[in-house]
Structure 1
């Protein structure tokens, strides 16, 4: 199956063959690939060569390991462009997936100084704090905490949160969503995040903080999200000035 006369390294040829087999649906997400010993026999190479190929595919996110069980085909990651301002619900519907929420808490609290500064309100003013797990086709995708100035939308209820919040803001409140400031950083899942997202402890996460404004530059939500890094990747187009 491999061309040993090719200038391409053996491990790279194995990677490409596994990629093609996944593309041809010889392997499916969640299915175990053959053992290192089996792959060594199949490709007629050393175990070290097979291990390098598999390690590269694990680092790429195409495969994942479970200790004591083996190596498996990873789910295809959702590609989220960092252009355009859409809600989670809008994004999932656009992908043809069923959006959902597991509401963990819906509280009104006093804003601390850091939160108040970001929302451009006074420290001690009331804010809604909403914690929920965001779902796509019933699969947990992100753990999300949202802070909303109470004075801006005092009529907000759990029912509004369970639907598309952006639709409520624009259709019922008559506000126009303008822009957002967003920061992304890597993190590892703690016990609460791992439990909420049904992932292993210390699994990789993409931490995102987004502050969203109306067209008159009024902040109306601060969202802190922990996205599963095994299911999401973010894309950006960068142009040279």
Structure 2
């Protein structure tokens, strides 16, 4: 028996579904400044104008949209930046340090999903993933070998064999996907001969190894990356909340917060 389409199993009110789709577009940068007109949205979703208005009202209340009488509905970029912030990539870290990010593609294309990729992306046996591996340089200095797995079932027509800029900006600009949540795990490892060669280090040098699991604005598993980095100074910030005290600052969303940057790529190892 043919499986029922996912949309047909969604029993939420239509205006909620439309609001969710519009929210994803706004967060992914699909719209520059102005939302499509109500009539265009009515035609696209094949719903009533009132349904579109209800969906827009939700996003106005969330602070993602703003209305101007007689001018239309606009993206509230300040509200978007305040509520949803894209995750920093290694490219962002390099550029923020005043250096130029360059890349050398080592391999790029479809391959059978490993058990790790199958579990993370929720794939079936025999499905493929898109594997992209490249050497990242800060100015002309190799700083990292990044091996990334992506889900081609979500990224239609994915092709990165000639990618010459940041992966996150490409996912955002060409595929409407913005990485909004990531879990990173860092540990020191010993560079094998291949990684040491790419990073211009002696085999056996201690380097940092980071693993990243990231999802997009829809909560879809998007990126599974292994990052082998030169031994750079890492910036670590830890804040903890314990017992209350007189004059305490406002509590954060979590009892403790841990952040680590990609490091100072301009430093000498």
Same fold, TM-score > 0.5, yes or no: yes
2:145/2:227 contact within 8 Å kept: yes
Q: CA deviation at 1:160?
A: 6.2
In 2, the alpha carbon distance for the partners of 1:123 and 1:100 equals: 36
Structure 1 equivalent of residue 222 of structure 2: 220
Q: Give structure 2 stretches of 5+ with no counterpart.
A: 1-84, 242-254, 256-269
In 1, the alpha carbon distance for the partners of 2:203 and 2:228 equals: 14
**Mapping of 1:124-135 within 5 angstroms?**
124-135=126-137
Structure 1 residues 234 and 227: CA distance shift in structure 2, 3 A: farther
* 1:144-187 Cα distance to aligned partner (Å, 9 max, x none): 10001111113222366321211121122222322011111110
In 2, the alpha carbon distance for the partners of 1:151 and 1:122 equals: 11
* 1:190-236 Cα distance to aligned partner (Å, 9 max, x none): 0001111100111011110001101221111111011111x342423
Number of matched residues?
A: 158
- Candidates 173, 176, 183, aligned match of 1:174: 176
- Candidates 119, 140, 143, aligned match of 2:121: 119
Structure 1 residues 239 and 84: CA distance shift in structure 2, 3 A: farther
TM-score norm. by structure 1 comes to: 0.61
SS for the counterpart of 2:111 is: strand
Structure 2 equivalent of residue 45 of structure 1: none
* 1:33-77 Cα distance to aligned partner (Å, 9 max, x none): xxxxxxxxxxxxxxxxxxxxxxxxxxxxxxxxxxxxxxxxxxxxx
In 1, the alpha carbon distance for the partners of 2:150 and 2:91 equals: 18
Q: Give structure 1 stretches of 5+ with no counterpart.
A: 1-82
Structure 1 residues 165 and 84: CA distance shift in structure 2, 3 A: closer
**Mapping of 1:84-95 within 5 angstroms?**
85-95=87-97
- Candidates 138, 144, 147, aligned match of 1:145: 147
Structure 1 equivalent of residue 38 of structure 2: none
Structure 2 equivalent of residue 190 of structure 1: 192
TM-score norm. by structure 2 comes to: 0.55
Tell me which stretches of 4 or more aligned residues in structure 1 moved more than 3 Å.
none
In 1, the alpha carbon distance for the partners of 2:130 and 2:92 equals: 22
